[in-house]
A and B are shown apart, each in its own frame.
Chain A
């Protein structure tokens, strides 16, 4: 189930052509410190994670600063459902971090 989700994110986010058109309507990118706070950044960070990348501080800031307003999807020539990718990545994170926590707990005990 979790692996299906990971695969779905990978598949959907791989459609991104890096054109950046989505950035022009995103309400958060203007207030963030960099491209990570815009849809292009979020999709590609989600892709990075789905391919086994680390949940770094910037990755989490990027994914959790999204308002899920979906303005970006209207601009996307690849028809990517960007907020859905963000949502799915958040689910993945909570599941993955739970697993991590269990491993740590086991190690401690």
Chain B
């Protein structure tokens, strides 16, 4: 359908301030962090569930594609309007509707950013623990639909562990508004449709409200930073921590060269004596001394160097203990730009990957990645969550160079094979989107489970018979 007519029709349905067909504006709703460019015909800014329902019903009747967007920070191409269609941006639906400590939940609209939610909860001594590195920008709706995770993943899991119930709009004639799941912590409502929606990347339904589980902020968290010349020693330290009945709050890793680039990029002159380990342990205030001494000794025994400890999260923040880990993205992008600084007209594409292997196989994974670096000739930046085995290797390449693009594709294929061969998975928290569809197929094939892909495609058809919601993604 013609673009102007779509904008006119939607203006009539929900009001002219809630839709735009301005070409310049559309250009910023047609992009993503991977450098993909799509084609939004109109962007809609719903302010309540009914607006969403009306637009979905209209799109259904007129066979128009719909792409939900939170903050468009997906690293899998999930939020891109790949084919011409309407973008529904949830940025105006960002209210906290209810906080209930007695029921352990918060009710929110999908457009609220995770850090803004935590600001509200923090004032009550509570938190929403899923913390993607993008939490200052990422919305709850985007995180639910990506199945996002973060630094606290080993302790608190990912989005699928924290969603109790969802108000959703279904892609049918009426734009039906339904509620899946419960407000209660326990819920056995037939098949678990909440978990199906979590991680479905806006392909099955649109989320308009969410009941999320919340948890008290830990009394305090002690933090330790150390560098290990050998990866084996770092892993032994991790195993030792875990064997002593301690489930760390965070347990993060940065490969040596990546830590160096990260430190340099934020102007920190710190001696990087090896691979970096950052551990946080939540403890009672009375136990702080005991745990600080214990972790310091443990890290030393395993050959840790340049050990720094902080007696609270706040102290760690003040002393910048998190800075290097938080600069992984900066390091990844800096390294890519550095490599191409003398290449005229380079369009750099950053591939930030998301494999996970059982933590016991992390050493093999890191060694495998080093081999891939040699084989394909890409400088690889590497960091991740040792607690749950999730690694984010990244490379940069020049999209305008066909040979390099081919080589990057082969690097990615080998990476997928590496993850599968180590009993791992191709995506832990970023999602499948468009970039990992083939990888998903290969993973299921390797497990002799291709039938499941057919079942997933059938599920998509049941929810979205006209294939209007985020088509071409996931399956």
Residues of A within 8 A of B (CB): 14-15, 17-21, 23-24, 33-36, 40-41, 44-45, 48-49, 53-59, 62, 77-78
CB distance A59 to B24 under 8 Å? yes
Interface string of B24-52 (1 = CB under 8 A from A): 11011101110000000001010000000
Q: In the complex, how many angstroms separate the beta carbon of A75 from the nearest chain B beta carbon? A: 9
CB distance A53 to B17 under 8 Å? no
Find chain A residues with CB under 8 A from B23 CB: 53-54, 56
CB distance B137 to A19 under 8 Å? yes
- Residue from the list A19, A21, A53 in contact with B27, Cβ < 8 A: A53
Q: Can you name the residue of chain A whose Cβ is closest to the Cβ of B265?
A: A77
**B89 interface residue per 8 A CB criterion:** yes
Known: A18-B31, A33-B17. A58 touches B137 (CB 8 A): no
B249-257, B275-283, B329-337, B449-457: which lies at the interface = B329-337
Q: Can you name the residue of chain A whose Cβ is closest to the Cβ of B29?
A: A35
Known: A57-B22, A77-B333, A78-B337. A19 touches B134 (CB 8 A): yes
- Residue from the list B32, B43, B115, B329 in contact with A24, Cβ < 8 A: B115
Residues of B within 8 A of A (CB): 17, 20, 22-25, 27-29, 31-33, 43, 45, 71-73, 89, 91-92, 113, 115, 134, 136-137, 329-330, 333-334, 337, 347, 350
- 28 residue pairs A–B, Cβ–Cβ below 8 Å: A14-B347, A17-B333, A17-B350, A18-B73, A19-B73, A20-B72, A20-B73, A20-B134, A21-B134, A21-B136, A24-B113, A34-B20, A34-B89, A35-B89, A36-B24, A44-B27, A44-B31, A45-B24, A45-B28, A53-B23, A54-B23, A56-B23, A56-B25, A58-B20, A58-B24, A59-B24, A77-B330, A77-B333
* Cα distance A15–B341 in the bound complex, in angstroms: 11
Q: Can you name the residue of chain B whose Cβ is closest to the Cβ of A25?
A: B136
- Residue from the list A21, A40, A56, A78 in contact with B24, Cβ < 8 A: A56
Q: In the complex, how many angstroms separate the beta carbon of B150 from the nearest chain A beta carbon? A: 15
Known: A14-B347, A24-B115, A59-B24. A33 touches B333 (CB 8 A): no
Q: Can you name the residue of chain B whose Cβ is closest to the Cβ of A23?
A: B137
* Cα distance A45–B247 in the bound complex, in angstroms: 46
Q: Can you name the residue of chain B whose Cβ is closest to the Cβ of A35?
A: B28
Find chain B residues with CB under 8 A from A59 CB: 22, 24-25
CB distance B25 to A36 under 8 Å? yes
* Cα distance A17–B332 in the bound complex, in angstroms: 11
Find chain B residues with CB under 8 A from A44 CB: 27-28, 31
Q: In the complex, how many angstroms separate the beta carbon of B119 from the nearest chain A beta carbon? A: 11
Q: Can you name the residue of chain A whose Cβ is closest to the Cβ of B116?
A: A24
Q: Can you name the residue of chain A whose Cβ is closest to the Cβ of B71?
A: A20
Find chain B residues with CB under 8 A from A36 CB: 24-25, 28
CB distance B24 to A54 under 8 Å? yes
Interface of B, secondary structure class, is mixed
Known: A18-B33, A19-B134, A77-B329. A53 touches B24 (CB 8 A): yes
* Cα distance A36–B37 in the bound complex, in angstroms: 17
CB distance A49 to B72 under 8 Å? no
Find chain A residues with CB under 8 A from B20 CB: 34, 58
CB distance B136 to A24 under 8 Å? yes
Q: Can you name the residue of chain A whose Cβ is closest to the Cβ of B34?
A: A18
- Residue from the list B91, B115, B136, B333 in contact with A35, Cβ < 8 A: B91
CB distance A62 to B329 under 8 Å? no
Find chain A residues with CB under 8 A from B337 CB: 15, 78
CB distance B32 to A49 under 8 Å? no
Q: In the complex, how many angstroms separate the beta carbon of B340 from the nearest chain A beta carbon? A: 11
Q: In the complex, how many angstroms separate the beta carbon of B269 from the nearest chain A beta carbon? A: 19
Q: In the complex, how many angstroms separate the beta carbon of B15 from the nearest chain A beta carbon? A: 12
Q: In the complex, how many angstroms separate the beta carbon of B273 from the nearest chain A beta carbon? A: 25
Find chain A residues with CB under 8 A from B33 CB: 17-19
Q: Can you name the residue of chain A whose Cβ is closest to the Cβ of B136?
A: A24
Find chain B residues with CB under 8 A from A78 CB: 333, 337
CB distance A34 to B24 under 8 Å? no
* Cα distance A76–B71 in the bound complex, in angstroms: 16
Find chain A residues with CB under 8 A from B91 CB: 34-35
Given contacts A19-B137, A24-B137, A33-B92, 10 further A-B pairs with CB under 8 A are A17-B33, A19-B33, A20-B71, A24-B113, A34-B45, A34-B92, A35-B89, A45-B28, A48-B28, A49-B24
Known: A44-B28, A45-B28. A21 touches B45 (CB 8 A): no
Find chain B residues with CB under 8 A from A56 CB: 22-25
CB distance B32 to A18 under 8 Å? yes
* Cα distance A86–B44 in the bound complex, in angstroms: 26
* Cα distance A74–B120 in the bound complex, in angstroms: 25
* Cα distance A54–B25 in the bound complex, in angstroms: 11
Q: Can you name the residue of chain B whose Cβ is closest to the Cβ of A47?
A: B27
Known: A18-B72, A77-B330, A78-B333. A48 touches B27 (CB 8 A): yes
Q: In the complex, how many angstroms separate the beta carbon of A77 from the nearest chain B beta carbon? A: 4
* Cα distance A108–B22 in the bound complex, in angstroms: 28
* Cα distance A56–B27 in the bound complex, in angstroms: 12
* Cα distance A40–B73 in the bound complex, in angstroms: 12
Q: In the complex, how many angstroms separate the beta carbon of A78 from the nearest chain B beta carbon? A: 6
* Cα distance A57–B330 in the bound complex, in angstroms: 34
A-B pairs with lowest CB-CB distance, top 5: A59-B24, A20-B137, A58-B22, A58-B25, A77-B330
Known: A18-B73, A20-B72, A56-B22. A41 touches B28 (CB 8 A): yes
Q: In the complex, how many angstroms separate the beta carbon of B419 from the nearest chain A beta carbon? A: 24
